[in-house]
Chains A and B, each alone.
Chain A
C-alpha cells in the first residue's frame, strides 16, 4: 500500500502527535544530565526538576522589594502591549483592506504605497520610534502596529478582491450603495479572513514585542528574559519561554475556535 493512503485511528494519531514532544523532553533531560555529571555547577542546561521548582517559585513568591509577583506583572504588561498593538493593527488593516479592495480609486492611490512600505524592516525603525515616542508603552505598541499592519492590509485587500464579482453586481441590482455593499456584503465575508490573518500576525507581533522589551522596558516577559540572561539564569529563561509559547498557542487556538463558532457559513464553503 502506498504511504499516502495509510490512514490512522484516533489513538494512533494522538500517540504520534505526542511523540516529538516526548522525544524533545528526553533529549533535553539526557543532555542536561551529561553536563551536570561532568560539572554539577553547570548552569547552561538545568535539570528538568530544577526548572519546575523555579517555575513554582516564580508563579507564587512575591518580589521582596515591591511585594508583587513579578511573573504575573510581566505577563500582564506584555499581554496589554500585544493585544493593544494587534487590536489597533487589525482595525486599521480591516478599514484600509476594505478601501483598497473595494474602491478602485483607493486602490490606485494606496496599493503601491503599502507594497513599498511593507518592505521596510520594522526593527530598523525601532531607534526612531524610541526617539519619537519615548521609551514608554507607546513606542512598543507602535512597533507591533508597524510590524504587522502592512501584511494585514495586503492580505485583507487581496481577500476583498477575491469576493466573487457576481455578489457585488448582485447587490447593486438590489439597489445597494457602495456603503451598503461594504458593510453588508464585503465586511462580513472579510471577518473569517481577518481572524486568519491575525493568527498569522501573532508570531511577528510577539517577535516585535520581545525585541522592544529587551531594549527598553521596566516590566514584561521579554524584559525579564533579557534581564536574567546576565546571571545565566537558564531555569528562569526556560520558564518564561515555555509560558510565552503556551500563551501564543492558546491565543491561536482561541481565534481558530472563535472563527469556527462565529462564521458557520464559511466552514462549508460555497
Chain B
C-alpha cells in the first residue's frame, strides 16, 4: 500500500528545469535516504514534499489526500540550520511543537502544566533535560539538531523530512545521532525522507536509497536538463547496496 505517491513531478525555476519526471511510491513507515550531487535538486524535492513550493507539473499525494498547498502539521521538517527558534528556551521550543497550533500559540493554566510535564519527558528522552532553560545559541550543533528533531516529532507529523540534518556534525556526534534517530523511529514508526551527502549514513539508516542525477547531459548547456531518480536501492538488509530485481526471472523458479 503506497503512503506517499509522487507522480510525474517536474520543477523549473524560470526556464531552468531542476527536477523532471520523478515518480516514486513510498510505503508507510519507510525510511528513504536521498543522495545526489550538490545542486541537483534534493532540497528542491524536499520543499515540494513539504508543499513549501508548488511543482510546475505533477503532484504529490500523502495517504491519498489532495496535494497540499502549503506546509502543515502532517509534514515535519528539520533543516541543516535555523530549525529551532532562537528566542525560545529549549523547553519552550519543545512546547512550541504542541502549542503553535492553538489560537494564541500558547497553553494556559492546567493545560500548560500538563504540556510542560510532557515537554520535560521529551527532553529527558532526547537527553536535553539538563539544558532545558538555556537558549539554543548556547547549545552545540548536535544538541541543536537533537532539539530540532524532538520539536518536529512532538507535533506528530505523518512524514518527517530531514535536509542534511547531520551535515555539520563531527563523525562521533553523527554516530550518536544515528542511534538517536533509529531509536526514535522504532518508537514512532513514521515515514522519513532524509537528504544526505554521506553514502554510509544513507545506507545505514535508510530502507531505500534514492539517487538523484541527470540522465541527459548537454555538454554545451549543462543546465538544460533536470535531474531525476536514477537508482532506487533496497538498503534493508544490513545496509549492503543491491538492486531489487523488478522482473520475474524464470531461471530462479524451482517449481
| Chain A interface (Cβ < 8 Å from any Cβ of B) | 164, 166-167, 169-177, 179-180, 183-185, 188-189, 263-266, 268-270
Contact = CB atoms under 8 A, between A and B. Distances in A.
A161 to B, nearest CB: 15
Interface string B24-39: 0000000000000000
B97 interface: yes
Interface residues of B, number: 34
Contact of A166 (B81, B137, B138): B81
B214 interface: no
A175 B77 contact: no
B105 A183 contact: yes
A185 B99 CA distance: 13
Contacts of B103: 177, 179-180
A268 B71 contact: no
A185 B71 CA distance: 16
Given A169-B52, A173-B75, A180 B86 contact: no
Contacts of B106: 184
B50 A169 contact: yes
Contacts of A270: 81-82, 86, 136-137
List the 6 closest pairs (A to B, CB-CB), nearest first: A175-B101, A180-B105, A166-B82, A172-B71, A268-B137, A176-B100
Contacts of A166: 79, 81-83
Interface in B78-106: 79, 81-87, 96-97, 100-106
Interface in B44-85: 50, 52, 70-73, 75-77, 79, 81-85
Given A180-B105, A188-B87, A263-B87, A171 B100 contact: yes
A144 to B, nearest CB: 30
B135 interface: yes
B85 A185 contact: yes
A77 B100 CA distance: 45
A265 B87 contact: yes
B31 to A, nearest CB: 19
Contacts of B50: 169, 173
A167 B136 CA distance: 13
A180 B101 CA distance: 8
Contacts of B71: 169, 172-173
Contacts of B136: 265, 270
- Name which of A170, A184, A263 has the most chain B CB atoms within 10 A of its CB: A170
7 contacts: A166-B82, A171-B85, A173-B157, A174-B73, A180-B101, A266-B87, A269-B137
Interface string B93-137: 000110011111110000000000000000000000000000111
Contact of B100 (A169, A175, A264, A269): A175
Given A189-B87, A265-B87, A174 B82 contact: no
Given A170-B84, A173-B76, A269-B137, 16 more contacts: A164-B81, A170-B77, A170-B79, A171-B96, A171-B100, A173-B72, A173-B155, A174-B96, A174-B101, A175-B155, A180-B105, A184-B100, A184-B105, A184-B106, A188-B87, A270-B86
- Name which of A174, A189, A265 has the most chain B CB atoms within 10 A of its CB: A174
Given A164-B82, A264-B135, A265-B135, A175 B73 contact: yes
- Name which of A173, A265, A269 has the most chain B CB atoms within 10 A of its CB: A173
Contact of B155 (A167, A174, A188, A268): A174
Contacts of B192: none
A265 B89 CA distance: 9
B18 interface: no
- Name which of A172, A177, A183 has the most chain B CB atoms within 10 A of its CB: A172
A179 B106 CA distance: 12
B152 interface: yes
Contacts of A167: 82, 85
